[in-house]
């Protein structure tokens, strides 16, 4: 180890000078991403796609910025696993920092704070756009400039002291972290990513932790998800009117044409036990993704077809997923499952005899019952639609026929019966709903 004129070691100071800022940058990006963007990052994988297939590769190479998009799509598939999304994002930002520092040092400009500023700007842009390919594009440009700088060595004309540079870098990282943590668009995307993933995985407590009554008042698009979660937990007829319901349309997404609306309908019909319509809605949702399908779409289709015992379709979509890098365990699980449960004779195609779903959820619930398709949530949902329509007479008539199936009458059903008898109690929430022009105020 060499020593300075005062006898102090110099190696540790040099190592600290070159490593402190990138280490701080990596740790900051990792921690902030995990706290405020964990679900948004993992949702990128669900909506993304990367396949080792000629058609897919040709499609990607036909886009603008093909190389960065292809590398970005490859990396995003790793976002499926906990902490890898944050680590990959932090690594991209950190590598950009190191490349910029190399370029500026070769040009005679030594200032770690400037490199931190540039890297933090890239990080913020990636956080707001949810495009990993944007970071990859800037990384590739910086890498090309770095190679060119091998042949450049200018005399140093500016050098910011390390202590001052590190202090400025820390301030910049704090500001970037606060900007990302307080950005309303980023917050909304994180909430919605959690709701979508939790709904697909039937984690209803997680859905309700985000889609609270107050949050639904701010974003009414959350209402169907919250009400389905209550429905699944057996609490719809107890807590439905604690939410800002304005009519039966708030229980579903009929009439809406968006990826999220079709995703909800897919989850809803899965819960109702109608796998055919769940598959249909999944395909509808996939139309809004970049390639007309995604990892999340393919996994859902495998699950739905496995539930139906359709061996051919399970094998079809497992074959597609096997062209990715990280679905070996998933495909093996479902191929083994379908092998155990497959029927010796393929079921007869009698779809031509089946009723067609329409855009009236109340009618659809009746059709499902007529087809012999039912689930634990169907009856509560049917009666709650009647309450949301303020059709107390129909509710009373129908409920009398089903009353024996309820050991205890849920709160809102009791309240509706009180109104039908002309004796609503002072704390009758449903009565308040019926009196209000636009739901509970």
* C-alpha distances out from residue 116 to 21, 119, 244, Å: 8, 5, 45
Please report the pLDDT score of residue 441 as a whole number. Answer: 39
User: Can you tell me the distance from the alpha carbon of 305 to that of 302, in angstroms, rounded to the nearest whole number?
Assistant: 5
Is residue 200 domain-resident? Answer: no
Q: How many domains does the chain contain in total?
A: 1
Mean of pLDDT over the chain: 89
Q: Find the DSSP H helices in 201-310.
A: 204-210, 213-218, 223-232, 236-239, 259-272, 275-286, 295-308
Nearest CA to 410 out of 236, 230, 224, 228 is that of 236
CB distance 158 to 110 below 8 Å: yes
Do strands 158-159 and 109-110 pair parallel, antiparallel, or not at all (unpaired)?
Answer: parallel
CA 353 to chain centre: 37
Q: What is the largest CA-CA distance in the chain?
A: 97
User: Can you tell me the distance from the alpha carbon of 165 to that of 160, in angstroms, rounded to the nearest whole number?
Assistant: 6
CB distance 292 to 286 below 8 Å: yes
Is residue 347 domain-resident? Answer: no
User: DSSP letters of 394-423?
Assistant: HHHHHHHHHGGG-SS--HHHHHHHHHHTT-
Is residue 148 domain-resident? Answer: yes
Query: Could you tell me which residues come within 8 angstroms of residue 408 by beta carbon, excluding any fewer than 6 positions away?
Result: none
Sign of CA dihedral 199, 203, 204, 205: negative
Helix (H) or strand (E) holding 56: helix 54-61
Q: Which of 117-121, 124-128, 130-134, 231-235 has the lowest mean pLDDT?
A: 130-134
Is residue 90 domain-resident? Answer: yes
CB distance 226 to 293 below 8 Å: no
Contacts made by residues 419-423, CB under 8 angstroms, sequence distance 24+: 419/392, 420/392, 420/393, 420/395, 420/396
Nearest CA to 314 out of 299, 295, 328 is that of 299
For the entire predicted model, the pTM comes to 0.90
438 pLDDT more than 50: no
User: Can you tell me the distance from the alpha carbon of 164 to that of 18, in angstroms, rounded to the nearest whole number?
Assistant: 14
Is residue 116 domain-resident? Answer: yes
Q: Is 111 helix (H, G, I), strand (E, B) or coil?
A: coil
Instruction: Count the helices and strands in the chain (H runs, E runs).
Output: 23, 2
CB distance 3 to 9 below 8 Å: yes
Is residue 122 domain-resident? Answer: yes
The CB-side HSE value for 325 (13 A sphere, CA atoms) comes to: 12
pLDDT in tens, 320-373: 999 999 999 999 999 999 888 765 555 565 554 555 566 677 777 877 777 777
pLDDT in tens, 208-262: 999 999 999 999 999 999 999 999 999 999 999 999 999 999 999 988 899 999 9
pLDDT in tens, 184-216: 999 999 999 999 999 999 999 999 999 999 999
Is residue 31 domain-resident? Answer: yes
Query: Which residue segment(s) compose the domain that 110 sits in?
Result: 15-182
Please report the pLDDT score of residue 436 as a whole number. Answer: 78
Is residue 258 domain-resident? Answer: no
């Amino acid at each position: 180890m060499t020593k300075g004129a005062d006898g102090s070691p110099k190696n540790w100071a040099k190592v600290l000078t070159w490593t402190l800022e990138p280490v701080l940058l990596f740790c900051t990006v990792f921690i902030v991403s995990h706290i405020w963007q964990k679900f948004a990052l993992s949702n990128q994988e669900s909506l993304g796609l990367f396949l080792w297939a000629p058609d897919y590769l040709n499609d990607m190479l036909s886009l603008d910025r093909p190389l960065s998009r292809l590398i970005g799509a490859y990396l995003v598939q790793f976002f499926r696993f906990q902490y890898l999304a944050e680590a990959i994002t932090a690594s991209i930002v950190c590598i950009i920092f190191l490349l910029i520092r190399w370029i500026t040092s070769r040009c005679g400009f030594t200032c770690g704070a400037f490199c931190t500023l540039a890297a933090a700007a890239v990080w913020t842009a990636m956080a707001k756009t949810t495009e990993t390919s944007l970071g990859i594009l800037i990384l590739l440009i910086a890498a090309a400039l770095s190679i060119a700088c091998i042949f450049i060595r200018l005399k140093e004309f500016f050098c910011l002291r390390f202590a001052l540079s590190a202090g400025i870098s820390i301030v910049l990282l704090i500001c970037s972290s606060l900007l990302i943590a307080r950005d309303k668009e980023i917050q909304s995307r994180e909430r919605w990513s959690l709701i979508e993933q939790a709904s697909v995985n039937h984690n209803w407590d997680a859905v309700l932790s985000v889609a609270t009554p107050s949050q639904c008042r701010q974003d009414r698009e959350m209402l169907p998800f919250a009400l389905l979660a209550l429905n699944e937990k057996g609490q719809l007829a107890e807590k439905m009117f604690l939410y800002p319901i304005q009519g039966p349309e708030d229980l579903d997404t009929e009439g809406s044409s968006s990826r999220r609306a079709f995703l909800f309908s897919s989850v809803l019909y899965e819960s109702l036990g109608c796998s055919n319509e769940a598959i249909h809605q999944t395909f509808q949702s996939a139309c809004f993704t970049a390639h007309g399908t995604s990892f999340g779409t393919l996994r859902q289709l495998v699950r739905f077809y496995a539930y139906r015992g359709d061996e051919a379709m399970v094998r079809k979509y497992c074959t597609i997923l096997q062209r990715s890098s990280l679905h070996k365990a998933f495909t093996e699980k479902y191929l083994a499952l379908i092998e155990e449960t497959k029927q010796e004779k393929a079921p007869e195609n009698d779809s031509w005899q089946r009723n067609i779903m329409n855009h009236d959820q109340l009618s659809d619930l009746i059709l499902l019952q007529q087809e012999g398709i039912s689930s634990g949530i169907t009856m509560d949902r049917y009666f709650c639609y009647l309450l949301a329509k303020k059709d107390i007479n129909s509710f009373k008539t129908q409920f009398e026929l089903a009353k024996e199936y309820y050991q205890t009458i849920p709160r809102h059903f009791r309240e509706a019966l009180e109104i039908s008898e002309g004796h609503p109690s002072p704390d009758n929430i449903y009565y308040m709903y019926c009196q209000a022009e636009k739901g509970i105020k």
